[in-house]
Structure 1
Amino acid sequence: MEYLVLDVGGSAIKYALMNDELEMLEKGKVPTPHDTLDNFKNAVHNIYNQYKERVDGVAMSLPGLINKHTKKVQVPGALTYNLDVDIVKELQAVTTSRLTIENDAKCAALCEVEHGSLKGTDVGAVCIIGSGIGGGITIGDKVFTGTHGFAGEFSYLSDDWTKKEGFDGKWGYDGSALKLVAMIAKAVGKEPKEIDGLQAFEYCNQGDERALSALKAFCDTIAMGLFNIQATVDPDKIAIGGGISQQAILHEYTQKSLDELYEKMPIPIPQVQIVPCTYYNDSNLIGALVNYQKIYNKK
């Protein structure tokens, strides 16, 4: 059986024709519309039209939060036109009734617990470090979503309760990849717009002490959030994803910062295992299909 799977991101809608073995038979992408809901629906409709005669249904990974009670988008992420919209109903109208949507980070968690780094865990967590920190908590082979679907929204964790305005002092801002690039740029005497993530890590991997000092400060913030997640759900493993997670030095410094927290505890608490996500750019696509299979194929 074949499926159309879409991963909606801030810049592009990635899509793939996939089968039950999770093989990607065809792949492509189109720009994500940022102006109107109608243009977003048209983009999805046009992709679906290419495959509608071949697929069993549509599985989608989408930024934001769909409230489990109202069925409407409560937190739209970058796609602000989705706010207070029954997005499943809207997209089913231009595709098929067999359409499922799950939050992008929750899809990554489903991918990892079914096929990746969290497979076989009793309790796990995924942290996707990007423009914020996407998250998911897994219990067995299921993602725990909470009462409204807000569980695992790690971006909203506070790392400084003296800052109460908006995202000030919130982990999703202070622990974002954008924040790290800005910190490294400042440390090496550059403007944030002058370097990208790869260039920032070049400084670190070349042993630039200024960049490494900034990386250490950033990883202290990451470790604080991981420590709080551990104290809350006691996972077997926490898998770190996102583009910067492919940098080995990030894991090295994060582990170092977490070890320092453990060493300063007066009692020997359990220590969580920090691992990289198995899947990177394809995790949302795979997780979206896993979600579809669980709903329609009862896997």
Structure 2
Amino acid sequence: MKQYLVFDIGGTNLKYALLDNAGNIIEKNKKPTVKSGLNDFLKEMYEIADQYNGNFKGIAISCPGKIDVDNKIIHFGGSLPFLDGANIQKLFGDKYGVPVGVENDGKAAALAEMWLGALKDVVSGEMLTLGSEVGGGIVVGGQLIHGAHFQAGELSFMRYDMNCADWSGFTGQKGSAVNMIKRVNEALGNSNLEDGQKAFEAINAGNTQAVQIFEEYCADVANIILSVQAVVDGERVVIAGGISAQDIVIETIKKQYQALANKFYRVKNELTMPEIVRAKFENDANIYGALYALLLDINGQSEEAK
């Protein structure tokens, strides 16, 4: 069975794995992401690839930023701005003589769910990744949509508050799980504002302040889902991100969506509510999704979604 080398480039860690074309992980590892510049970063990646050279038939990469999947070029690079303009075909395809693929990390996670997870066989739907902002991907006609500028599904750019004067009024901040956790910990007087475990201990225990902040947050997420549903008419919405492991998250988003629909007659009676479920994949989602994107590209199936 053919094997592929997959990289998941993150702001904290560079994850890598060797998989077969059925999605079985043969081995995987990670290293702290090199942030000192492109040359040092590539040196690290080349050292990893050289270890497996001769054992893979392709290289797949997931990373932040706007990704030109046609020409294999990274734009912006998120928290790694030195990746802006990096041509993966030249840097890896030409160097190792194998097919290469590169995909946005949010879209890669959605592809993982399409291939082997909660979006498998779903004709229309979406995935929301609730982290520092809101990432994900939109599926229409059984295909992940990239858009004319490779930015379809960038939900963080939706303007949530029409009176906002800065980024705080956009979906990226309104739907930020990190911001919600910070607000809960601040209300509780916890010293570590990023401690998600402490925040959810209070939420699950029914602490009044924590629950109020959490329910307001889930109402914001429900509003995001409603807005996307009006455009996509999805049958299923998949919730990903670290907080999705908490059962109360999916339950409360569903409750808040229903409460929102009940406020408006036409929403309740005319707009069909999508099924809202937890994502199957967590830490390895981008690994699986990047590989699936490469396999689709090799087989020519990705053309249908462009």
What is the TM-score with the length of structure 1 in the denominator?
0.93
Give the equivalent residue in structure 2 for 1:279. Answer: 281
Inter-partner Cα distance in structure 2 for 1:196 and 1:164:
29
Q: Is the 8 A contact 1:124 1:236 kept in 2?
A: yes
Structure 1's consecutive aligned runs of 4 or more residues displaced over 6 angstroms after TM superposition are none
Q: How does 1:199-218 map to 2 (within 5 A)?
A: 199-218=198-217
Q: Aligned pairs, how many?
A: 297
SS of equivalent residue, structure 2 residue 102: strand
Structure 1 segments unaligned to the other structure (5+ residues): none
Q: Is the 8 A contact 2:62 2:286 kept in 1?
A: yes
Q: Is the 8 A contact 1:205 1:249 kept in 2?
A: yes
Q: CA deviation at 1:184?
A: 0.6
Inter-partner Cα distance in structure 1 for 2:61 and 2:208:
43
Q: Is the 8 A contact 1:123 1:234 kept in 2?
A: yes
Q: CA deviation at 1:133?
A: 1.0
Give the equivalent residue in structure 2 for 1:250. Answer: 249
SS of equivalent residue, structure 1 residue 253: helix
Q: Is the 8 A contact 1:68 1:147 kept in 2?
A: no
| CA deviations over 1:127-181 (Å, ceiling 9, x no partner) | 111111111011243210110101000111111121243x221111221121011
Inter-partner Cα distance in structure 2 for 1:212 and 1:54:
51
Percent pairwise identity: 33
Q: Is 1:228 matched with 2:230?
A: no
AA of the residue aligned to 2:174: D
Question: Structure 1 residues 289, 71: CA separation in 2 closer, same or farther (over 3 Å shift)?
Answer: closer
SS of equivalent residue, structure 1 residue 280: coil
Q: Is 1:46 matched with 2:47?
A: yes
Q: How does 1:180-195 map to 2 (within 5 A)?
A: 180-191=180-191, 193-195=192-194
| CA deviations over 1:167-201 (Å, ceiling 9, x no partner) | 2211112211210111111221234x345112211
AA of the residue aligned to 1:90: L
Bigger drift between 60-69 and 76-85 goes to 60-69
What is the TM-score with the length of structure 2 in the denominator?
0.91
Inter-partner Cα distance in structure 1 for 2:81 and 2:185:
30
| CA deviations over 1:232-265 (Å, ceiling 9, x no partner) | 1111111000111111111111111111111011
Alignment RMSD: 1.8
Inter-partner Cα distance in structure 1 for 2:27 and 2:151:
33
